[in-house]
Amino acid sequence: MAVHDMARGGRAPSTAVGDAAAAFRERLLLVVLYVVILTSSIAFIEPSPHDGLMGLLAIVCVIAGVRFERAIAPLVILLVVFNFGGLLSLLNVAGQEKTIQYTGTSLYLACAAILFAALLSHHVMPRIATICAAYILTAVITSCAGIVGYFSLFPHAHDLFTDYDRALGTFKDPNVFGPFLIWPALVLIERMLAHRIGMIDLLSLGIMLVGLLLSFSRGAWFHFAVSGGIMTTLSLLTAPTSRIRMRILVMAGIGAAAIVAFAAILLSFDSIAHMFRERAQLLQYYDVGSGGRFRLQELALGAMLDFPNGMGPYQFGVVHGTQQHNVYLQAFLVYGWLGGVTYLVLLGTTLMVGLRALPIRTPWQPYLICAYATFIGQVLEGFVIDTDHWRHFYLLLGMIWGLAAATFRDRRGAPAPPPREIQGHARFG
C-alpha cells in the first residue's frame, strides 16, 4: 500500500513522521531562541535568567541537530586560545572566588558566541528573524524602563532604572545599556532606508533613540553615529539597483534631519538639556588628573609590560583603585600576552571574514551589514570602555561568523537569492 501511495506521488509514513519531528524540533528551537534573546536585557542581577536559559538553548540545539560549519573553526580556535590565556593568568590569583567567577563568565560567553555562530550557519532566515524580533522587543522594553525611570513616572522607578540621573533600563550600567540598543536600531533604520517605513518600526525606533539619548553615554552616542554611518555606506555599496541606492540616499538625508529635530525636541526639556551639556563635553573630570582614565591607561601599559602572563581579573583595580576602561589593555592584563594578542587577532579576523561576506547578495545580507557596522562601533568604543563581558558583543561576534559561514556555503552552490531587503519577519513575533 505504501509503495502504491508513493507511486501516486505520496510519501512513506516513516518519512512523513521524520519530517514532522524535524519541524517540531526546529519550532522548539525557535521558541527557546526567542525567549533567550528576550531575556538578554535583564542584566541587573547576576547570574541573569538569560545565562541559565543559554544552557537550555544549548540542549535544544543538540536535540534539533545544530551542527558546526568548518568556516567557524577559526572562531572556536581563537576563543579557546584567548581563554586559555585567561586560565594561565588565573594562576596568579588562584583560590579567589571573584576571579574564578570572572574566568567562568569568559568561558561561558565564548561558548555563547560559538553557539550563535553554529545556529546561524543553517536555516538562517527563520533563526535570524527570530533573534531580530526578540531583540527589538527587549530593546523597546528596556528603553521604556529607562524612560520611565528618568522621568520618575512611577514610584521608585527613578531608583530602579537610572543611575546618577542617567537611564540604564534593566542594566547595571548606562554605558552598557546604550550600546545594547544600537544593533536593533540599525536594523530598523536599514529597513526604512531600503524598503519601507512602518508605524510600529518608527515607534520602536523612536523609543530606542530616546533611551539611547537618556543613557547620556558619550561612548554609545559615538558608537551609534559611527555604526549608523558605516551601515548606510555599506547599504549604498551593496544595493542591487540604482533605484534602491537613490532611495537610501534620500531617506538617509531625511532620517538624519529627523533625528536632529527629534533630539532638539528632547533637549527642550531643561533637565535633559542640562545633562546633555554636561555629558557632551569631550573631557570629564574623571578622564584627567592623577587618578583619571588616561593616567590609569598609562599605568596599565606599564603593568602590561611587567606582567606578560597577566595580572589576573580585577588585580589592576586592586592595585590602582579602579579599572583602566580600555578593553585592549584589559585583554593583556587579564588574559596575558597570549590572550591579548589572540584578542586582537580575533577582532581582525572577524572584521576580515565579515568584509568578505558582505558583498555577496543573500536574503540575510542586511542583517549582516547591521551586525558588522555595530561590531565596528563596539571595537572602537573598546578604547574607552571595557567591553569584555558584554553579552551583546558576543552575540554580534557569533552573528557575523554564522552569517558569513552561511553566505560562503550559499555562494558555493545555492541558487540565486531574491533581491536584498530586510524581510518582514523581524517584528515583535
Exposure class string for 87-97: b at 16+ Cβ within 10 A, else e: ebbbebbeeee
CA distances from 202 to 188, 258, 259, 299, 429 (A): 8, 11, 12, 46, 17
Q: At what angle do helices 327-357 and 391-413 cross, to 10 degrees?
A: 20
Residues 6+ apart with CB under 8 A from 322: 291, 296
The domain segmentation of the chain, as residue ranges, is: 71-413
Distance CA 397, CA 415 (A): 27
Burial class (CB in 10 A: 0-12, 13-18, 19+), 44: middle
DSSP string across 44-68: SSSS-HHHHHHHHHHHHHHHHT---
Cell numbers at 201, concatenated: 518600526
Give the Cα-Cα-Cα angle 128, 132, 136 (nearest 5 degrees). 175
What angle is formed at CA 15 by the lines to CA 12 and CA 21, rounded to 5 degrees? 140
pLDDT (tens, 9 = 90+) of the chain, 429 residues, equals 444 544 455 556 667 767 788 889 999 999 999 999 999 999 888 778 898 899 999 999 999 999 888 999 999 999 999 999 999 988 878 777 788 888 889 999 999 999 999 999 999 999 999 999 999 999 999 999 999 999 988 888 888 999 888 999 999 999 999 999 999 999 999 999 988 888 999 999 999 999 999 999 989 999 999 999 999 999 999 998 889 899 999 999 998 898 888 888 888 887 788 787 777 666 565 555 555 667 777 777 878 888 888 888 888 877 777 777 889 999 999 999 999 999 999 999 999 999 999 999 999 999 999 999 999 999 999 998 889 889 999 999 999 999 999 999 988 765 444 544 444 444 433
The helix (run of H) or strand (run of E) holding residue 163 is strand 162-163
Q: Report the distance separating Cα 76 and Cα 264, nearest Å.
A: 46
Tell me the whole-structure pTM to 2 decimals.
Answer: 0.89
